[in-house]
Amino acid sequence: MLRKIYTLLLYVFLPLALLKLLWRSRENIAYRQGWKERFGKVGVIPSANYIWIHAVSVGETIAIRPLVEALLLRYPQYNILFTNGTINGHIRAMAMYKERVILKYAPYDFPWAIHHFLSQVSPVLVLIMETEVWPNWMMALQKKNIPVILVNARLSARSYRRYDRFRSFFSSVFNSFTKIAAQAESDAVRYVALGVTSSHIEVVGNLKYNFSLPEDLASSLAVWRSVISTPLVWVTASTHPGEEEQLLTVFSALKEKYPALLWVLAPRHPERAAAVKKCCEAEGWSVRLRSTLEKVPTSALQTDILLVDTLGELAIFYGLSEVTFVGGSLIPHGGHNILEPAALGTTAITCGPSMFNFSAIAEQFIEQHALVQCQNNRTLAEKTIELFSDTAWRKKYAEAALHCFQEKQQALKNHMALIEQVLGGGA
C-alpha cells in the first residue's frame, strides 16, 4: 500500500519537477536536455555487459571517481553506464570521464520508466552512491535478480528518524540491496536499527578519502598566484541561499582588518551566480565572475570578490587560500565535503554548526584539531581573523587536516573487495 501511495505522489509532483526544469532553463539551456532519458529512453548505446553506476550530483560524482577508475582497470570486459540526477552532476561527469564511460541522466522512479530503462540496459551489477534510494528502482532490479550495492552508504541520525516513521516500508527497500557498504560503524548501527539484516551490511570506510588532486595543480597554482595581487585569500565553497548574506557580514569584518583580502566565493550551484553577484554588489563590493576571465588568466586580477561560476576548479582556489570555509553549514543543510581542502595541507578549514551530512568526518577532524567549527557568522568572523593573524596556528590546523585525510584511505580497496565478491575477479 505504501509503495502505491509513494508512486501516486510521484505523479502528483511530476508537473512541478518539470516546471522547475523549465524555469531553470531560462538561464541554463542544459536544463532542457536529457528529458527522454529521465523517462527511461537511453537512446543508442552498446547492447550488453553493463555495470550501472548512479551518483546524484557533483559531490557524489567526484567522490565515486576512484571507484570508477578502479573498475575501468579491473573489469575492461564491461561497459560502464554512469547516470546522474542533476545537471551539474552530469556536466562534471562529462568533464571527468569524456568517452571512457557512457553518460546518461537517471530515469525517474516511475515503474514504467525504470522498466523502459532496464529493457535497453541489462546490467550485471548496479552501484548506487550514498543515499540515493528509489523504491521502484529497487523492486524492478530485484525482480530481475540484478545485484545492487549501496556504496559509500551513510545514514545520519536525521535521516534515520525520517525513515523510521515508515519502518516496514524502508526496511524492505534497504533489505533489497545485495550489500550496503557503510561508511562507518555508526551508519551500520542505524541501518540495523531500521530493520536491515546485519549480513547485508559491511563497514568499508568513506570513498571521499580516496580522491586524487589534479595532476596540473602545481602549474595552475603558479599561474593564478602570478595574477592575484594579494597573499591574503579567503575561500568560501559550496555556499547556499541564506548563507551568502551571512558571509557578507563576515567579509566586511575581515576587510576592515585586512583591506587587501580577496574573497573567492563559490556557490554550490553556479547558475545562482548572477543573483549572488547582485547581492554582493548591493553591499558596495566589486565582483568579477570567473567565467569572464581567460581560461588561463594572464592579467592582474583587481577585485574584492572573485565569484566562481565554473565547475572543477575548486582545488586551485583551495590551494591559493590561507583559510577556507566549507558551506552548507551556516544554515541547516548539513554541510559539504571538507576533504578536498584537507588534501592540500595548506589551508585552515572552518565550517558552521550544521555538518550532519558529514558528521563522522567532521567529528574526527574536530577531535584532532583539524577543523574549526563556528556556531554563527559572528564567531566565524572572529575565528577567521585569528587564523589569518596567527600563522603558526593556521599551519597547525592545515597540517592536521592533511594528516586526518591521509590516515583513512582504505575505503577504495574495501569497496573493490566487496564488488569482487559479486562479480568475481577481473582482468
Q: CA nearest 172: which of 124, 128, 136?
A: 136
The secondary structure of residue 306, as a DSSP letter, is E
Report the alpha-carbon distance of residue 350 to residue 327 in Å, rounded.
Answer: 9
**Burial call 57-88: b when 16+ CB within 10 Å, e when fewer:** bbbbbbbbbbbbbbbeebbeebbbbbbbbbbb
* Residue 303 CB neighbour total at 10 angstroms: 16
Check if the beta carbon of residue 339 is closer than 8 Å to that of residue 318.
Answer: no
Looking up cell 577567521 gives 384
Distance CA 159, CA 161 (A): 5
Which one of 60, 130, 202, 340 is the catalytic residue? Answer: 60
Residue 69 a catalytic site member? no
Distance CA 75, CA 95 (A): 22
The residues near 213 (Cβ < 8 Å, ≥ 6 apart) are 315, 340, 343, 344
Are the CB atoms for 371 and 351 separated by under 8 Å? yes
Grid cell for residue 256: 576592515
Q: How far is CA 108 from CA 13, 27, 34, 121, 376, in A?
A: 12, 23, 12, 15, 38
Catalytic machinery residues: 60
